[in-house]
Structure 1
């Protein structure tokens, strides 16, 4: 099984920011994980869909044995992957601190992910399992964004977890993500 991490906007070098290296080290200890892709992405400060989706599809490679973990802007990218006809059905997708709007932010607007409506029904079918984490106290993406996503994605393939106290925008490790990976690996 492969796990691919899609970082948030401005998170470069990927191996030295947030919880990303901790996560890669922890999942590589798991018996069924062959690889955890922790690469720098092109255009790390713009994270444009027109650059990131082809990079993921053509350079990193995605298949039915891939679990994608998207954080912040990377979660928006992962959501667009779920509805993309050029990407196969994924094993799993974790959305960490996801938003469905650009939040009135000029940089998020330029990322292209929010330029058209979301195809929620198609997204539900893009992976065997989808899990969304959001911090109740997230100071960058209000929890109402994730709650809206949870309502739209409701169904047998989707789970939603709100984390209270201290995680905010998930800049530090949190153990619950490893439990979700275990669940996705077992299916």
Structure 2
């Protein structure tokens, strides 16, 4: 099997934004096949109708690494809950499982099967900031850690929108 990574961008973003292309190139250089799909419907369409198209568009196996940022990290929760395989790793950057602010969050499910999510990734990482302008902060990361286990990294880096992200390159196996 070959190593594969899928990077899911955040709400209103594109695959060419911030650190997404940088990380994709770093992973390709390490032998990964990398997908960075453009998902304009993320956190716009209700998760109930959006998730099936994401599941159908990608294949997942025990060598797959999933990376999600912001709305893409919230998408990973639903994705992991509905996978029928256990992926190698899931990294949720600025992730959240409850509304982080007053905006509508159609990417969130009303509830989660936490045990199913936990079983769907061998290695879970949460990277949140002390203070996040959108509310995807360390408190949200602590909730995910409490419910799922794994590793939480808290950094003072806002919403993680720089062009490079060395920490992710080190986290991904």
TM beyond 0.5: yes
Gaps of 5+ in 2: none
Give the whole-Å Cα distance in 1 for the aligned partners of 2:26 and 2:46: 29
Give the whole-Å Cα distance in 2 for the aligned partners of 1:132 and 1:40: 22
Gaps of 5+ in 1: 183-187
Q: CA deviation at 1:128?
A: 1.0
Cα separation, partners in 2 of 1:117 and 1:146, compared to 1, 3 Å? same
Q: Determine if the alignment matches structure 1 residue 171 to structure 2 residue 165.
A: no
Q: Return the match for 2:153 from 161, 164, 168.
A: 161
Q: CA deviation at 1:104?
A: 4.7
Q: For 1:90-126, what per-residue CA distance to the aligned partner results, in whole angstroms no more than 9, with x for missing partners?
A: 1110000011112353431x33x23x22222221111
Work out the number of aligned pairs and report it: 169
State the partner residue of 1:77. Answer: 75
Give the whole-Å Cα distance in 2 for the aligned partners of 1:88 and 1:82: 9
Give the whole-Å Cα distance in 2 for the aligned partners of 1:143 and 1:44: 22
Give the whole-Å Cα distance in 2 for the aligned partners of 1:97 and 1:127: 18
SS at match of 1:118: coil
State the partner residue of 2:125. Answer: 131
Give the whole-Å Cα distance in 2 for the aligned partners of 1:47 and 1:26: 31
State the partner residue of 2:25. Answer: 25
What's the TM-score once normalised by structure 1's chain length? 0.82
What's the TM-score once normalised by structure 2's chain length? 0.88
Q: Which moved more, 1:95-104 or 1:46-55?
A: 46-55
Q: CA deviation at 1:171?
A: 0.6
